Amino acid sequence: MNKKTVRDIDVAGKRVFLRVDYNVQFDDGQILDDYRLRESIPTLEYLRDQGAKVIICAHRGRPGGKVVEELRNEPVARHLSSLINCPVRSVTDCIGPEVEAAVESLQPGEFLLLENVRFYAQEEANDPQFARQLASLADVFVSDAFGTAHRAHASVVGVGYYLPAVSGLLMERELEYVGRVATDGEKPFAVILGGAKVADKLAILKNLVDRASLICVGGGIANTFLRAQGIDVGASLFEADRVEDAYEVMRLAASRDDLRLLIPTDVVISDASGTRINNVSVHRIPPGFRILDLGRRSLEDMHEALAPMKTVVWNGPVGFFEREPFDQGSIEVAHMLADLVGATTVVGGGETAAAVAKAGVANRISHVSTGGGASLEMLQGITLPGVEILRDK
């Protein structure tokens, strides 16, 4: 997308309102995953080097417009300070006299992290007055919050009505890679779709199916495709009201000579106790057993089918990734993408990114998106409000 970036404007000595996605979790004072913080560092360093006064705005969790002590941003400021080897001050609010005084004292190259912006109900309501109060702190709006770009919130969209709005370096990279595969990926083009909900993925298929050479399904959505084939999936979760939709996708794929739809032929199953685990044909699932991962033959078929691909986009784990040993299929898919030579590989956020990290191959993937919901909507062809507000070049 042809949006202005922070490189296109002069930020020297200016107050920059930097919206980031630092929606991270802590356990006993320790951050569980700082990937989103680390991905924002290039923008932070650029602004520091340019002598900007940086006011960082972020949210954590869903506090519902109330102050929730365990969702404060102060621990984030401490961890971010250690990552960039530079002090990051924090305040206990995001508007008001305390914040204004802290902003006033900022020197070029310094950072201030505001309190969790979702402590105000006006944030998610995209309240114009609240957005105006946030905007009054700064001269320029820089958005690096791709992970929340699909939300029409005050700090994501509203501030952009009152300040010149441009993308940060992370947002630029997200739009380059996710935008490219959503509109113009090099062929042959493959889509790997997992996760639980068929409804979430059908719109992606409808947007990409005309360009795709290969569609691979796994995870819970594969169960719905198996039911559309008339296969008994035992106690496995599937969406009965989406079986007809899955059948339509299969019929469309069958009508095209240049499109292959890969549905599992064998799966890893387990009983309710989780102690009896077997790799079986999809036609041999006993009553009471659930499909929890792709089987060995299905993974081998996927590996072979992906080999000639020039663009691969993966959204959603192909198994019950949260529990071992049912994470193995997703980890193996991560290795398949990492091993592709000369291909552009783009991985959606959330659990898919976690699978790539667990496999230890993130540095061999072209782009691991920081935004699950945002990348999902972009792949569906939806214009994100947090992107639309940014100025065009």
The H-or-E segment that residue 371 falls in is none
Section 313-324 average pLDDT? 93
pTM of the model: 0.87
**Residue percentage of the chain with pLDDT more than 90:** 81
Q: What is the CA radius of gyration of the chain?
A: 23
> What single letter denotes the amino acid at residue 273?
S
Q: Give residue-wise pLDDT tens across range 332-373.
A: 999 999 999 999 999 986 789 989 999 999 999 999 998 888
CB 384 within 8 A of CB 150: yes
Among 4-18, 207-221, 376-390, the range with the most confident prediction by mean pLDDT is 4-18
Confidence class for position 319, pLDDT limits 50, 70, 90? very high
Band (pLDDT 50/70/90 cuts) for residue 91 is very high
The residues, any chain, with a CB within 8 Å of residue 19's CB and separated by 6 or more, are: 57, 58, 141, 142, 143, 144, 145, 148, 155, 156, 159
Q: Where are the alpha helices (DSSP H) in 184-255?
A: 198-208, 219-228, 243-254
**CA gap 185, 193 in Å, rounded:** 16
User: Could you write out the DSSP letters of every residue in 292-312?
Assistant: EEE-HHHHHHHHHHHTT-SEE
Span 256-312, pLDDT tens digits: 889 999 999 999 999 988 888 999 999 999 999 999 999 999 999 999 999 999 999
Catalytically annotated residues: 36, 197, 350, 373
Quote the pLDDT of residue 1: 66
Residue 273's pLDDT is what?
Answer: 83
Of 368, 366, 372, nearest to 357 by C-alpha is 368
What's the confidence (pLDDT) of residue 28? Answer: 85
pLDDT at position 156 over 80: yes
Sketch out the chain's domains with CATH numbers. Answer: 6-172 (3.40.50.1260), 185-379 (3.40.50.1260)
Evaluate whether 186 touches 173 at the Cβ level (below 8 Å). Answer: no
Give the span between the Cα atoms of 160 and 142, in whole angstroms: 9
